[in-house]
Structure 1
Amino acid sequence: MVDDAERDALDAYSRVVSGVAARLLPSVASLTITGERRGRTGVVGTGSAVVFTNDGFLLTNAHVVGRATRGTASFSDGREAGFTVIGRDRLSDLAVIRADGATPEPAELGSADTLAVGQLVVAVGSPLGLSGSVTAGVVSGLGRSMPAQSGRAVRIIEDVIQTDAALNPGNSGGALADSTARVVGINTAVAGVGLGLAVPINDTTQRIVSALLREGRVRRAFLGVATSPAPVPPELAGRIGRSRGVRIVHVESASPAEAAGLRVGDLIVTVGGEPVDDAQSLQRRMFADAIGEPLAIITYRNGAMVDVIARPVELTDG
């Protein structure tokens, strides 16, 4: 039997979820992607997208639009508009599209940097073609990594949000929002039962979106490591004044990282003289201005500090 305190808690939870849904549902579109398949033009995919500007730009997943250039966006108020793909970035799984007609009021973008494990989040999208669907759950994990396809190579998307909010095919490109209806992530993958992933909205994401709006692509520096958040050993924490770092979990063959002598298991302490305590700290350095430039990296290995100089190359889509 539900007591008064439990009933009040459930009512408060319902009010939060319904409030987020009321605010975000108009701003989330159901996408139909048009392209060629076996020599014929037609529907090649579906997904979701989030209006984020007043002049018709929407944010979605790169894998939702694929190599297509056009499609149709449908909104909860019944309006439809054709759209054009402005730019896509497979390495973050983000894409920007622009509607050809009027769009509803944009959603407010928040910051995933404020999220905490256990925090309530709400997913809004069009799973299985069912537009305007809402599910709720919690942040199950932060700082996760997931593979992304870039040409024939597999890269790693860092700093992904893990949630148990129910996600299904078609949710991709939809909004993951906090309790105030601010979009803190773009739903990107269903990794298993009770396990969904979202690309975070943060400073790095904003830089990627700006590049897509400006140039239609993102020029990146490539180092060739995959990392995971890790605690700093006590003996090191006292020296550097931090309790967190990132540990190298993969070094790509024939990469600048391998050439510089970086190894799996190294704990990255600083990059370019700046502290590194999460995946985003490293990602922020891997844009066009780092290509071909010497990059000083300090790692902690077998109880000692190790200095290396890497020279990132331009990441190519192949």
Structure 2
Amino acid sequence: MDELDSYSRTVSTVAAELTGRVAAIRAGRGSGSAVVVPGDGILVTNAHVVGDARTGRADFVDGVQTGVTVVGADPLSDLAVLRADRAADLPPPARLGDADGLVVGQLVVAVGNPLGLAGSVTAGVVSALGRALPTRSGRAGRVVEDVIQTDAALNPGNSGGALADARGRVVGINTAVAGVGLGLAVPVNATTRRIVAALLADGRVRRAYLGVVGSPAPVPAAVAAKHGRTNGLRLAEVIGGSPAARAGLRAGDLVLDVGRRPVQDAQGIQRQLFADAIGVPLPVTVLRNGAMVDVVAVPTELG
């Protein structure tokens, strides 16, 4: 590979590692890609790829075919877990990374099966972080939070495939083509691992519901100097009748802490809203009109 420049060498190395670990998936009327992950015959794909299907088929570039069973799907993260009928025939799992460490401009490589073309590889950079993607669950106002935006070329069939860093670690599950030259991927991080574990254990993900919509915003200089905080989550909307509304939260509040943990973005809240938070008092600290305000919300189960 001496004839390759460093960029090409990196992309080709990642491609060689991951191409055999990403399958083409057909499930019901849907098709896409899926990544072999650690576990006994486990693959991860998008919830919208499998839809309502309970079974399907995985095809690998080396000619291996196996039936798969849909263990569970979570439309709110657009993730689904599959179990292969012939686990022993699967390739070794892909290495998983942590998308929380990504930076804008970082090289990423996408591996999938766009337009039925198995084992396709494209490369690009992380174009933006923290994007929100409307879910395909039919529930208005619900979004997949903290999505990765990339300019790596994605096409129909890439959904469910791998987005990897320069070391070949999977940092995202490609989920959508948002426009020409603009692709999106669900991040692989601690929250994703928790979702996958819940799907494996129960076939579904139970979540707590707070009822706020917001975006990252800077903390005023005086507050930042006093509390050592530079960013919070500015609430754009508090859903009427929600636990947040009943607790007294308001649009315009700058959320600083939830559950006595610092919050800088939507993920800071979402990672606390799983089954163990349902019905449990959750302290929230916000900055409102220059004053610190403490409230206690009691999340309900997300229906």
Coarse TM-score class (shorter-chain normalised): over 0.9
Q: 1:117 to 1:10 in 2, by over 3 A?
A: farther
Say whether 1:82 aligns with 2:35.
Answer: no
Say whether 1:206 aligns with 2:206.
Answer: no
Q: Secondary structure at the match of 2:244?
A: helix
- If the length of structure 2 is used for normalisation, what is the TM-score? 0.95
Identity %: 66
* Aligned residue pair count: 300
1:312 to 290, 296, 299: 299
**d(CA) in 2 for partners of 1:290, 1:269:** 19
How much has 1:139 moved relative to structure 2?
0.5
Say whether 1:292 aligns with 2:279.
Answer: yes
The residue number in structure 1 matching 2:203 is 216
Could you tell me which runs of 5 or more consecutive residues in structure 2 were left unpaired when the two chains were aligned. none
Say whether 1:12 aligns with 2:6.
Answer: yes
User: For residue 92 of structure 1, what is the amino acid of its counterpart?
Assistant: S
How much has 1:233 moved relative to structure 2?
1.9
Q: State the superposition RMSD in angstroms.
A: 1.6
1:165 to 120, 127, 152: 152
The residue number in structure 2 matching 1:37 is none
Could you tell me which runs of 5 or more consecutive residues in structure 1 were left unpaired when the two chains were aligned. 1-7, 35-43
**d(CA) in 1 for partners of 2:141, 2:199:** 21
Say whether 1:247 aligns with 2:241.
Answer: no
The residue number in structure 2 matching 1:46 is 31
How much has 1:10 moved relative to structure 2?
7.5
2:76 to 91, 94, 100: 91
The residue number in structure 2 matching 1:33 is 27
Once the two structures are superposed, residues 133-152 of structure 1 have per-residue CA deviations (whole angstroms, 9 ceiling, x without a partner) of: 11111011111112114454
The residue number in structure 2 matching 1:38 is none
How much has 1:230 moved relative to structure 2?
2.1
The residue number in structure 2 matching 1:180 is 167
The residue number in structure 1 matching 2:52 is 67
Say whether 1:228 aligns with 2:237.
Answer: no
How much has 1:184 moved relative to structure 2?
0.3
Once the two structures are superposed, residues 235-280 of structure 1 have per-residue CA deviations (whole angstroms, 9 ceiling, x without a partner) of: 2211221212222233223221222222222211001111112332
The residue number in structure 1 matching 2:118 is 131
**d(CA) in 2 for partners of 1:147, 1:52:** 26
**d(CA) in 1 for partners of 2:214, 2:162:** 26
**d(CA) in 2 for partners of 1:250, 1:62:** 27
User: For residue 283 of structure 1, what is the amino acid of its counterpart?
Assistant: Q
**d(CA) in 2 for partners of 1:177, 1:310:** 38
Once the two structures are superposed, residues 177-203 of structure 1 have per-residue CA deviations (whole angstroms, 9 ceiling, x without a partner) of: 000000001011111122111111111
Q: 1:9 to 1:186 in 2, by over 3 A?
A: farther
How much has 1:301 moved relative to structure 2?
2.0
Once the two structures are superposed, residues 23-81 of structure 1 have per-residue CA deviations (whole angstroms, 9 ceiling, x without a partner) of: 000000011112xxxxxxxxx01110000025210001111111110111010111111
Q: 1:248 to 1:82 in 2, by over 3 A?
A: same
**d(CA) in 1 for partners of 2:56, 2:237:** 38
User: For residue 77 of structure 2, what is the amino acid of its counterpart?
Assistant: S
Q: Which moved more, 1:174-183 or 1:141-150?
A: 141-150
Q: Secondary structure at the match of 2:13?
A: helix
**d(CA) in 2 for partners of 1:164, 1:11:** 21
